[in-house]
Structure 1
Amino acid sequence: MSQITDSAPVGVFPRLDWVNDVLSPALRKAVESLPAAERLVAGYHRGWCEADGAPRVAEAGGGKVVRPALTLLSAVAVGGSPSDAVPGAVAVELVHDFTLLHDDVIDGDALRRHRPAAWSLFGTPAAVLTGDALLVAALHALTRAPHNRTAAAVQELVGALLELVEGQSRDVAFEKAHDVSVADYLDMAAGKTGALIGCACALGGVLAGADEVRVGGLREFGRRLGVAFQCVDDILGIWGRSARSGKPVGADLVARKKSLPVVAALTAPGAAAERLRELYRAPHPSAGDDIELARHLVEEAGGRQAAEEEARRQLAAALRSLSLARPTADAYRQLHDIARAMTRRES
């Protein structure tokens, strides 16, 4: 397949320009079909325009289109072509944006992709309604799949959405829970993040006409990759840099969220873990000094190391699952490169 690039060095994200070439026309058509108010918010969120609707001088943003890339490459992996999987690629990218818009509202994060989050400019109702509209557009995108594959594709997406909502609900509930285990966290992450990435990969297989065994291998590859990605995201949420990530760093500690490094630290033995438990039980909001202290205690209690080790375990499991799909050599190489890049982002 000519679009697949040479293997990328570890830690360098593979160039996905070809994905935008395949995806962009259909994705823009889907967003442009939204009502005017939601179209503006969605366009701003993706980095296509300014808050007043003016086109951006140097268009940027929109993320790395990782999920659509996984969908298109998964189709290629089982002998299909990227064009087979375009409806699925559009759907998962629209769902991803839907989740980001809602997550920023739920978490109160005011920064997304190096710009003010949509809700902070347009208001919470507008951001929520735009997320809802994108979800509808995602389901509509799948109706453009070949008729004999539409039902299976819709079923795949709806199943993932149910898991995603359950995972997000558990994530919110963890904030008030006193006891959250690492196993609890991994189950939550499998829904919150793993379900959609697993769906992205499975949809590629479904739309390319693969059998259930190969689709199952792709789904489990994406699901495990999603959990590994969430582990790394949690690490960057505490020790990353806003200038690089485009998201607030330390916000999880301010909100006392039970991210994986925190959960692993809270359940560890030792003085640092006990001090962290006291800090998280304190009734007053966390101040700046508390955030620095919490960051130090989480690392001292082994939370960072535990999250890094779990990310490696999940990535290894993902690549084993990918082998079950019997992927073509070129597609396997590109999926492997993307998986490695997703889980070795710079802090």
Structure 2
Amino acid sequence: MTTSLTATLDVPQAPLRDVPALLGRCRALVRPRLAAAIGGLHPWTGEMSAYALGWRDVDGTPDPDASEGKGVRQTLAVLGAEAAGADGRAAVPGAVAVELVHAFSLLHDDIMDGDVLRRQRETVWKAYGTGPAVLAGDALFALAVQSLAETPGPHTGEAVRRLCATLTELVEGQAEDLLFESRPWTGPDAVLPEQYRAMAERKTGALLGCAAALGALLGGAPAETVAALDLAGRHMGVAFQAVDDLLGIWGDPAVTGKPVHGDLRRRKKTYPVLAALSAEGPASRELAALLEAADEDAAPRAAALVEEAGGRAATVAEAHHHLDAARTCLREAPLTEPAALSIESLLDFLLHRAS
């Protein structure tokens, strides 16, 4: 039985009503440039990229039922420019770049994790094959840098440097995540919650921070404003990962498209599990024994032990801590009020999500 994550997180409801319209507005602004960039790829990698983005089916026909994702990163880029007092259109090249990087990262993540479904349909590697999917990811990676580098303007060089630094961080975070798989559950070499947090900032937070910062940078914001938005996005990313970890154990399969307790069955080292293992007590010890035994049928018991040992509560607290930290960054920076409030609503929306 699953429990409402909305109730668990105690997220306010009022600001969330306008977020879908906000995401839609920013998507409409970015989509033409993003489609033009994908249209410049080789037809085969372009077809796979359009499939990955939820635009087309495997036969190349439009797929109106497929999900394009939330579009959070492109929205953050547009809001970053608007928060700095610029027209949101100034951020479009940065928004395109971060969307392409995000698509690349998901495509390669699915290969490394062996995931066969994303957004309720086959992943690219499952639909087209591993080799073609790697190639499509490489194409998206290269296109992200190229599309930003070809943007005219006085801030292009700095924008490309920031994107490249973010790409390096993202790869480092993914490397750490993969290396965590071979480390023991307990003992001196076990993964600690703070090590997981540092990984999450690189793997998830860096790109969210880059999105907001690129929008501000391309909008001509001063360095202090760019840095504040980058830090806010990083905190947002860690909070996002915390909620993702909760969904990976207790999310509703009908919404997430993944089995309940899926992360436990796959023995993934996520924040709730690591926090539970780091606690002292019989529940932590029993959990460690179950994980060492690698028994998939014990996943429901393991989930109960994670909760009993405090792992779920610790993850909720982690999400709230980084949400509050992101708000502090926004409120201390010289941002235009409407855009800053929109970003805050977006923070709540991410914590409120069910998938």
With the shorter chain as reference, the TM-score category is over 0.9
SS, match of residue 147 in structure 1: coil
Where do residues 1-347 of structure 1 align in structure 2 (5 Å cutoff)? 9-10=14-15, 13-15=19-21, 16-56=23-63, 58-178=64-184, 179-282=190-293, 285-287=294-296, 289-346=297-354
Q: Which residue of 2 aligns with 1:3?
A: none
Question: Which one-letter code corresponds to 1:317 in the other structure?
Answer: A
Between the aligned partners of 1:123 and 1:315, the Cα distance in structure 2 is 39
Between the aligned partners of 2:96 and 2:139, the Cα distance in structure 1 is 14
Contact 2:73 2:211 in 1 (8 A): yes
Query: Sequence identity, in percent?
Result: 45
Contact 1:160 1:195 in 2 (8 A): yes
Which runs of at least 4 in structure 1 moved beyond 4 Å after TM superposition? 10-13
CA shift for structure 1 position 344 = 2.0
Q: Deviations over 1:149-205 (max 9, x none)?
A: 111000111111111111111111111212111111111111010000000011011
Question: Which one-letter code corresponds to 1:286 in the other structure?
Answer: D
Between the aligned partners of 1:323 and 1:165, the Cα distance in structure 2 is 31
CA shift for structure 1 position 249 = 4.5
Count of paired positions:
337
TM-score, normalisation: structure 2: 0.91
Question: Which one-letter code corresponds to 1:190 in the other structure?
Answer: E
Query: Mind listing any 5+ residue stretches in structure 1 that lack a counterpart?
Result: 1-6
Contact 1:72 1:86 in 2 (8 A): yes
Between the aligned partners of 1:97 and 1:59, the Cα distance in structure 2 is 18
Between the aligned partners of 1:249 and 1:205, the Cα distance in structure 2 is 39
Q: Deviations over 1:264-319 (max 9, x none)?
A: 0111111111011112222xx432x2111211111111111100000000000011
Residues 286 and 10 (structure 1), Cα distance of their counterparts in 2 relative to 1, 3 Å cut: farther
Between the aligned partners of 1:101 and 1:248, the Cα distance in structure 2 is 20
Between the aligned partners of 1:303 and 1:90, the Cα distance in structure 2 is 37
TM-score, normalisation: structure 1: 0.93
Query: Mind listing any 5+ residue stretches in structure 2 that lack a counterpart?
Result: 1-11, 185-189
